[in-house]
Amino acid sequence: MTTTTAPMTSAVKGSGYGRTFNFSAGPGVLPEEVIRQAQHDLWDIDGTGIGIMEHSHRGKTFDKVLAETEEACRKVANIPANYKVLFLTGGATSQNFMVPANLLPDEGVAAFLTTGYWAEKTWEESKVYSGKCYEAWDGRATKHSYCPADSELKWGAKPVYVHMCSNNTIYGTQWRNPDGSLRLPKAPDGAPIVCDMSSDIYSRPMDVTKFGMIYAGAQKNIGIAGTTLAIIREDLLKPARKLPTMLKYEVHAKDQSRHNTPPAFAIYMSGLVFKWILKQGGLATLHQKNVEKAKLIYDVLDSSKFYKGHARADSRSLMNITFKTPSEALDEAFLKEAQKHGMEQLKGHRSTGGIRASTYNAFPREGCVALAQLMKDFEKKNG
């Protein structure tokens, strides 16, 4: 059987790197070697003469894919044995109901740290399950421009869990220390933290034992749309109420993410990305690279009177960099100019406008250099 592969250099003008600089907030850029491997395995994986998307999810080939994916996933973050690794469907958005359905008893209390657009959605959905939940932080009044200090959090009744979002994709803020490492709120009475890590998972080191549960849609840093990674401490698996089978984490854990036909290709892609992360040197190396990449752009913002960043300096995201020029017309002109230089998907989210540069793990440093240069040139011409 012969294999065919698409040419890996596209006729993109301007970027000078053979592909478009894809600043998309998600689905985001994938590592080149992951795409190359997938191209091959789509046609024939492991010499079986059958492509990855055509294999039974109960067959030996997929058994191996799933086992290797979980193994690499665990290795990347040193996930302890008392945490289950699940590959779910329905996107991170479905966790907005699965988490309270499983963890929050009727009229139980959970606390929410509302730091952005996605965190707002998570909070809203909790009300379906209990009227007693509360927001220990509400960042709406400050336009979600930062992640709060512990002293700003307003705790009420003891929560069964605290929900947070580690990186706010739309506003461009991140729970971080000055060096960009992960900062966590101090949850009251040892309440487990449930974290939506969709837009910064595996971009920096993390201590899984500090969380009750972590979940993330795969399509930004760990693969493609179609699967949601959930890492759950075993004692949280038991559902808090009677639930339909497919809603129970317990069932997905028992059946090792194969209660029904899983998103096999998406899981396979995550496996390739986890292996790629390990090859890069792991999370500490990626974090260092991400800090350097983001700095190239933040340095321009800091030395400019023309651009205005949205995030407060102490909460700046290393994954999504949000800023505006002095007017909407100039924002538009900037985006057009960027396209001429092979840079795409820089438009801010529809709810915030402006410009957003997403610089996930697989985004090349050259793209950040190019954007920083464009920002300087554009300011010189229009400032």
The set of catalytic residues is 118, 196, 220
**Nearest-approach distance from CB 118 to ligand PLP, in angstroms:** 4
In the set 76, 92, 237, 273, which binds ligand PLP (CB under 6 A)? 92
Nearest to ligand PLP of 263, 342 (CB atom): 263
362 closest CA partner among 275, 276, 282: 276
Nearest to ligand PLP of 21, 118 (CB atom): 118
Using DSSP, state whether 229 is helix, strand or coil: strand
The tokens for 5 are 């592969």
Residue 125 as a binder of ligand PLP (CB under 6 A): the answer is no
Nearest to ligand PLP of 26, 309 (CB atom): 26
Listed in order, strand segments (DSSP E) in the chain are 21-22, 83-88, 111-114, 134-138, 162-165, 167-168, 173-174, 193-196, 213-217, 228-233, 308-309, 320-324, 343-344, 355-358
Residue 29 as a binder of ligand PLP (CB under 6 A): the answer is no
CB 253 within 8 A of CB 235: no
Nearest to ligand PLP of 126, 198 (CB atom): 198
What does the alpha-carbon distance between residue 162 and residue 322 come to, in Å, rounded to a whole number?
27
Residue 196 as a binder of ligand PLP (CB under 6 A): the answer is yes
Nearest to ligand PLP of 213, 372 (CB atom): 213
In the set 98, 113, 147, 165, which binds ligand PLP (CB under 6 A)? 165
What does the alpha-carbon distance between residue 18 and residue 174 come to, in Å, rounded to a whole number?
31
Cα-to-chain-centroid distance, residue 31 = 15
Residue 118 as a binder of ligand PLP (CB under 6 A): the answer is yes
Residue 24 as a binder of ligand PLP (CB under 6 A): the answer is no
Stated as kind and residue range, the H or E segment containing 81 is none
Residue 213 as a binder of ligand PLP (CB under 6 A): the answer is no
In the set 69, 102, 169, 173, which binds ligand PLP (CB under 6 A)? 169
157 closest CA partner among 137, 134, 138, 139: 134
Residue 199 as a binder of ligand PLP (CB under 6 A): the answer is yes
**Nearest-approach distance from CB 146 to ligand PLP, in angstroms:** 16
User: How big is the site for ligand PLP, counted in residues (CB under 6 A)?
Assistant: 11
Let me know if 50 is exposed, middle or buried by CB neighbors in 10 A (0-12, 13-18, 19+): middle
Residue 89 as a binder of ligand PLP (CB under 6 A): the answer is no
Interface positions with ligand PLP (CB under 6 A): 26, 91-93, 118, 165, 169, 196, 198-199, 217
